[in-house]
Structure 1
């Protein structure tokens, strides 16, 4: 299944084989659902349980262009609301508390919308775009505050760093330097769970009077923790790419493009925040 987008036009080509035909004959499979037979998985989008087979010919099957368009819409919403928040919401010291409150409120709303989508059986464009809008408000206020009071110019560096990480993961995935399988997904999920637990513990220690918490907010330990966060984000992005590749190969319903957009956007936000953390700590220590 080819795309008119030049970045994805040769998506998933490996060992000189064409993507569309080879995957329809012998699907890649996902690291999620399906029974493994001969190192391949059954079609996770088919009704009932069956053996691996060629992708069904659905009239509404998702294409790579569908994923590109939906991802562009979702990321565009994040970017637009972030820029508007940066320009319109105050960040001077007198109103800093109000800006901080807006950012935290937007972050909680975005998290709530994302959780609703996660537990829904079908993708909801309204939920996904709503999540993107409130996430953009949070990112805009946070970025403006960091740039104004902590590290001027760091936001542009973080954006470039996010693009660099994303491009590197895309290149590594297309070259098959990264092999996303069940073992990879299980390791990344376990590592991310530990990372988030440490992040929560650090916040709780800081909240209840332990100063800098566990030390993840400054110094060499803070930079190392942020680098681990970036690497985890890169791993999740590779998993997102695999999910997209499988959806196209198996002829998933077109609405799956919204789930792909949601996953990629969430991962890119994670990477941006971790890159911003690393650069802010690094610049403040020099």
Structure 2
């Protein structure tokens, strides 16, 4: 299913070492068609009139609205929303493919999507500059994985796919509302707990996978069955929800610090990774609960 935590959006103010450009709002920087900031003239000092410009031209420039983040190439919330929507659209398209093929081919596409998505998740995570093509390719492969998984589990437990979609949207909405209200934040203490819980969850998942592959565990979800599976599932959903908080925090910091616009793709990738993880945990928990009925 890929990595469970994407790289954060750069939070340092745009223009610091590493980006190779001047900070936004630097005195003397002007944006075509927008009102200029204070102009520094080496000879005349503050407020000196630019050469070859009449008073009428200056007045017209100052009457223009101030340059916003989009005009200066900075990351905005709208950028993140649009690019996240693009990722989810490609993901849904990939999932739809599995609905129009045989069950055997859908299972194969699920495996291809899982392995390919995992590889591209690692590539995108460690890539210094975001690549829209690779991020969208990741979304498409994860769509194949989720589509195949949903088709298999929904065939065994009718309606579980729709329930998982509703559950994912509900957790996302509640988490966003709590974040916007300031009631839940990625504090250092919470981050420490998150990392400890993630390490424990990862170790359990690896052990469970090995036992299933070696045939020592024959249940569908291995050790994740019965009350143990329910408890682990609830913990995993909680971790995924907190990962969303970390994504929101990273996006907020990136926008406020004026990160370059291209890093909105990094933010969209992070949200997509977390939503995929959240959906998988919810549908697995629902399948465990339905299997115990």
Both structures adopt the same fold (TM-score exceeding 0.5): yes
Q: CA RMSD in A?
A: 2.3
- SS at structure 2 position matched to 1:189: helix
Contact kept? 1:89, 1:141, Cα under 8 Å: no
Structure 1: gaps (5+ residues): 1-30, 35-41, 50-54
The correspondence of residues 226-241 of structure 1 with structure 2, limited to 5 A, is 226-241=233-248
Structure 2: gaps (5+ residues): 1-6, 26-68
Q: 1:74 maps to what in 2?
A: 87
**Of the candidates 41, 47, 56, which is equivalent to residue 24 of structure 2?**
56
Q: 1:263 maps to what in 2?
A: 270
Separation of aligned partners in 1, 2:8 and 2:138: 24
Q: Quick one: structure 1 residues 147 and 243, their matched pair in 2 at CA, closer, same or farther if it must change by over 3 Å?
A: same
Q: 2:160 maps to what in 1?
A: 154
Highest Rg: 1 or 2?
Answer: 2
Compare relative contact order (CA 8 Å, sep 6+) and give the higher one, 1 or 2: 2
Q: Quick one: structure 1 residues 67 and 82, their matched pair in 2 at CA, closer, same or farther if it must change by over 3 Å?
A: same
Q: 1:191 maps to what in 2?
A: 197
Contact kept? 2:13, 2:258, Cα under 8 Å: no
TM normalised by structure 1 equals 0.77
Aligned pair 1:65/2:78, yes or no? yes
**Pairwise CA distance, 1:253:** 0.3
Separation of aligned partners in 1, 2:280 and 2:8: 27
Number of residue equivalences: 237
Q: 1:201 maps to what in 2?
A: 207
TM normalised by structure 2 equals 0.75
Separation of aligned partners in 1, 2:151 and 2:271: 24
Separation of aligned partners in 2, 1:241 and 1:32: 10
Q: 1:124 maps to what in 2?
A: 131
Alignment deviations for residues 151-197 of structure 1 (CA, whole Å, 9 cap, x no partner): 11000000000011001101111111112133322331332122112
**Pairwise CA distance, 1:212:** 4.4
